[in-house]
Structure 1
Amino acid sequence: MRNLPVSGARLWDSLMEYARIGGTPKGGCNRQTLTDLDAEARHLLARQAAAAGATLSVDRLGNMVLTRPGRDPARKPVAIGSHLDTQPTGGKFDGVLGVLAGLEILRALHEAGVQTEAPVALINWTNEEGARFSPPMMGSGAAMGIFPESEVLAKTDSTGAVFGAELSRIGWAGKADPAALQDLGAYFELHIEQGPVLEREGLDLGIVTHALAQHWFEVTVTGEDAHGGSAMAGRKDALMAAAECALMIERAALACGARATIGRMTLHPDSRNVVPGRVWFSLDTRHDHEDQLAALAATMRAEAAGISARRGVAIAIEDFWISPATPFDPALVGHLEAAARTRGVRSKKMPTAIGHDAVYVARRVPAVMLFCPCHGGISHNEAESITPAWAEAGLVVLADAVVAAAGVSRD
């Protein structure tokens, strides 16, 4: 079969159309999950996919599944997915690029009259971002059995609004069983890289082979409150001990090739003239290999014990969340590589250090990701930017790989 006649120009127009739903004065997008703006974007997607011959199903978590039938109804669907929700100061491409590329593939199949052997489905996952309701990737995580459905529906945002109630309020609480999505035949996700590698290396696409292992911690340093005018010698300053921990963590991560981030920190009593008696901070560590990540954790705990003894403070390092290294399906990686070669698209194989719906899906379903470059690696920011050419390169390679996986009827 010839390459599917997808339209990069129409994909770009769609991206700009959805960017107006929650568009911000600085050119970004604020379309947080389970808001009226989220509902508006969902309705638009449903209408457009219906016009392309797709049938909508919505599960109890609000995950939208838009399916175009195949010739063989016994075959499992080949799915394309991502998310429509954004950060409060998000960009125009994070998540929505993957959804609208899937929509363009449905449109092209419909207009060309192409019948695939397997059904082709487009999925909009609920609450990938985790900006309003935490943690992120709730829709895919619960569908894949990683989170209990009841736990997700009971989550609250900062105002006390309940996930399940908000889902019903905006009219997107469905009846389908989310676990049915574990029965997909294959899953593809196109996403912006959210990093600078592809742009820096002058490449058009990244074919994602695996997701890094992640281990998150919560660290509490407990010393002793003291007056800011007290002598420095003999203080049990929790902040100074935490600062030493932070530098130790940086050294240890660099030594083993890991990534370590302290994203949040709180001080107690948080007064200008009081030596902090307690400091809490979050710690996010990531590595290609789980054994190296475990070794990093052991090193940090041992070094923290030394800091504790020297400074006369207590340091508690508690596990918060662990995600194993997750490989993507080699056969689907092969489909993407073959499509990139045929199209003459410059690409490289690479990992993802960032969580995506595809990472959870890959625990139950053959899955793969494809990265599009983004300017400066900037994402979760209103300045997020890609080019039409990058978007089109991702679209055509994705389309060819999806058709290869779904098969084409020869009737």
Structure 2
Amino acid sequence: MSTPQNVAVNGSRLWQSLMDMAQIGATPKGGVCRLALTDLDKQSRDLFVRWCEEAGCTISVDRMGNIFARRPGRDDSLPPVIMGSHLDSQPTGGKYDGVYGVLAGLEVVRSLNDMNYVTEAPVEVAVWTNEEGSRFAPAMVSSGVFAGVFDLEYGLSRADLDGKTMGEELARIGYAGDQEVGGRKVGAYFEAHIEQGPILEIEGKTIGVVTDCQGQRWYEITFTGQEAHAGPTPMVRRKDALLGAARVVDAVNRIGMKYGPLACATVGLMQIHPNSRNVIPGRVFFTVDFRHPDDGILKAMDGELRAEVERIAGEIGLESDFQQIWYYAPIRFDETCVAAVRKGVERTGHSFRDIVSGAGHDACYLSKVAPTAMVFIPCIDGISHNEVEETTPEWSTAGCEVLLHAVLDRANAMAEQVKASAE
């Protein structure tokens, strides 16, 4: 089937949708706080569903709360081409992370409506639950259940720091759907996203053609020492859990620097007990995030962290509990889908470069069950997971244009592939 003439998206409509969505959970510095499955997350989901229904889509929700908005194709028996990302945010998040991919997908649907054009295969826009992992760990858990990485019971039982589970909160906000999670064929998956780093802007490129995504390991570590009075207790007799945690923070930084420039190593969350100014901390819980595009190096970083935790605990006289709670290996995206993104760049004339994603995305898990690729646009100063996260209307339009062309390429090729396989 031929591509329609005068293929275009409505960039101003996309930008206005981004601004409207950003009003839900808006923060004083221009960002958003929409933690997964909170009332604010429900409001963002409700708005997305309303917009999709107004665009003529049918809505389905699976048992992990993943939302699918479907635009029919000429042959609805063909597997859909899905676009998507997430609507949940970090506690002090930006208004584009995840949301851009969801609303760029919606704009593709709206633009197809404007052109009165029907693709061969159906087209869907997906919202994945709890991509960020800031309320329920690990991140990307619902797309992980969809891809068969986690089982449903595991996903629904993930609990926040107050003990509330994803299953309970999905039911509370009305998004515990009845569709089974995964198990259906997906023709292709595309995710548009801000880069969340500075490379595209520094090099003056408008589009990042994402070829790979680096691997990641998450850890939860608890040091237990002995609470004691900050005054009478001699320094040499202390079992200070916070001292141990501080030394691990330094070790994590050294490991990241050792395996740089591609390694990333972060301690992002810490809880100190009893958290009193004149009590030596008796227990500290903290997290570690390791990332690298080479799985062998990621494994070496893992080994060094384990050795450092054991050494530090022994030196101070602490008990340690070390848990790796999440791991996924580096992945390479599907060559055909990456080629479709490149075709989109060629047809739109935007400047581009190939790029490896430094962040984890739902696309990483979708790649296990469907041909997958991603489209990156720049974000100003490379800042993300921050209230001041920013991009431009021009960049957002460009990424959506490329996304539209890539979707057209795969949605119309689907019928030819099915026909060829039947012959």
| TM norm. shorter chain > 0.5 | yes
SS at match of 1:70: coil
Change (3 A) 1:165 1:404: same
Residue-by-residue CA offset, 1:183-209 (whole Å, 9 max, x unaligned): 101100011122222222222122222
Structure-2 separation of matches of 1:369 and 1:318: 31
Residue-by-residue CA offset, 1:346-375 (whole Å, 9 max, x unaligned): 222222222221111112211111112112
Indicate yes or no: 2:372 matched with 1:367. Answer: yes
Match of 1:217 in 2: 219
Indicate yes or no: 2:77 matched with 1:58. Answer: no
| Contact 1:229-1:273 within 8 A present in 2 as well | no
Match of 1:147 in 2: 150
Match of 1:285 in 2: 290
**How many residues end up aligned between the 2 structures?**
409
Letter in structure 2 aligned against 1:382: E
TM-score for the superposition, normalised by structure 2 = 0.86
Q: 1:7 Cα deviation (Å)? A: 1.2
TM-score for the superposition, normalised by structure 1 = 0.88
Q: 1:161 Cα deviation (Å)? A: 4.5
Structure-2 separation of matches of 1:172 and 1:288: 35
SS at match of 1:207: strand
| Contact 2:220-2:323 within 8 A present in 1 as well | yes
Q: How does 1:269-284 map to 2 (within 5 A)?
A: 270-276=275-281, 278-284=283-289
Structure-1 separation of matches of 2:11 and 2:42: 26
User: Identity across aligned pairs (percent)?
Assistant: 46
Q: How does 1:122-201 map to 2 (within 5 A)?
A: 122-159=125-162, 161-180=164-183, 182-201=184-203
Q: 1:306 Cα deviation (Å)? A: 4.9
Change (3 A) 1:339 1:238: same
Match of 2:419 in 1: none
Q: 1:238 Cα deviation (Å)? A: 4.4
SS at match of 1:179: coil
Letter in structure 1 aligned against 2:386: N
Q: 1:297 Cα deviation (Å)? A: 2.1
Segments of 5+ residues of structure 2 without an aligned counterpart are 417-423
2:9 to 6, 21, 29: 6
Segments of 5+ residues of structure 1 without an aligned counterpart are none
Query: What is the Cα-based RMSD across aligned positions, in Å?
Result: 2.8
Q: Which moved more, 1:33-42 or 1:111-120?
A: 33-42
| Contact 1:3-1:400 within 8 A present in 2 as well | no
Structure-2 separation of matches of 1:177 and 1:38: 22
SS at match of 1:99: helix
Letter in structure 2 aligned against 1:128: E
SS at match of 1:183: coil
Match of 1:27 in 2: 30
Structure-1 separation of matches of 2:170 and 2:338: 35
Q: Which moved more, 1:43-52 or 1:346-355?
A: 43-52
2:359 to 354, 358, 366: 354
Match of 1:16 in 2: 19
SS at match of 1:298: helix
2:257 to 243, 250, 254: 254
| Contact 2:252-2:267 within 8 A present in 1 as well | no
Structure-1 separation of matches of 2:57 and 2:208: 29
Match of 2:46 in 1: 43
1:400 to 405, 411, 414: 405
Q: 1:33 Cα deviation (Å)? A: 3.2
